[in-house]
Structure 1
């Protein structure tokens, strides 16, 4: 097919490493930003608890769910580095379920929309159930690692 010179081969091998480094630095920066926002949510919790006069539990519950969304995204970034540059799909499912619960709590004026969101949560839970019962290692991937 194509004959690649030795100098071109090193450049082609260098490009993925540079892109991976850029991706890693971007994820670290995103993790720092999300950590700052997580601390900001903790400060909002403290303000709500200190005021005490605010009985709007919807706002408090929505803030708790936003807190968990930040927490899940930070956990997903940590897991990405621990699992050798791989995002586990179950973390995306956790985030999706948390986001749908937050939408139901905050915007529950239309019952049809709430039913639709609940159906989405059911689909995500079924997907999570399927992921837990399928083997993590695929037979093809074990054969490819031996080569």
Structure 2
């Protein structure tokens, strides 16, 4: 019996491809839903700017702007997923986390301790982003940060 043409081997090869196709279809549907919500949020901006007297509630406006950016970042992350050969870059999750925490601080700033905790979370996310940026993709034999440079 030929190993390459065995039904079992063909099934094993077909399952990941089928799951990848299902995942891709779901992500495209999610991107379409997010694009619709992004457009809806844009309409809300126009309503607040054009039809609200005396500038309206600035907290609501800022919260809507940050929700807009969250939708935008998720759509961008889905686009990157397809462009980078089915891989989600970690930095986009960090961007989304920072934006979500900033929105939380703006919307729910009544409790000072919670605001401090949210700020510490933002600091941790920024430090994580810095570490990701200074860490090389390939592991070198010696770290470039701690090398002694000889003249």
Q: Which has the higher helix share?
A: 1
Alignment partners' CA distance in 2, 1:8 and 1:127: 44
Greater than 4 Å deviation, 4+ residue runs: none
Q: Per-residue deviation at 1:135?
A: 1.0
Q: TM-score normalised to the size of structure 2?
A: 0.87
Q: Per-residue deviation at 1:5?
A: 7.6
1:72-112 Cα offsets, whole Å, 9 max, x none, are 00000000000000000000000000000000000000000
In the alignment, structure 1 residue 6 sits paired with structure 2 residue 6: yes
Alignment partners' CA distance in 2, 1:133 and 1:41: 36
Alignment partners' CA distance in 2, 1:136 and 1:22: 29
What residue in structure 1 maps to residue 49 of structure 2? 49
Alignment partners' CA distance in 2, 1:52 and 1:73: 29
Matches within 5 A, 1:48-127: 48-53=48-53, 54-127=55-128
Q: What do you get for the CA RMSD once the two structures are aligned?
A: 1.5
Larger radius of gyration: 2
What residue in structure 2 maps to residue 27 of structure 1? 27
Contact 2:48/2:56 (<8 A) preserved: no
Q: Count residues in correspondence.
A: 137
Alignment partners' CA distance in 2, 1:26 and 1:67: 21
Alignment partners' CA distance in 2, 1:42 and 1:5: 54
Alignment partners' CA distance in 2, 1:101 and 1:131: 21
Alignment partners' CA distance in 1, 2:98 and 2:63: 14
Q: TM-score normalised to the size of structure 1?
A: 0.89
Q: Per-residue deviation at 1:138?
A: 4.5
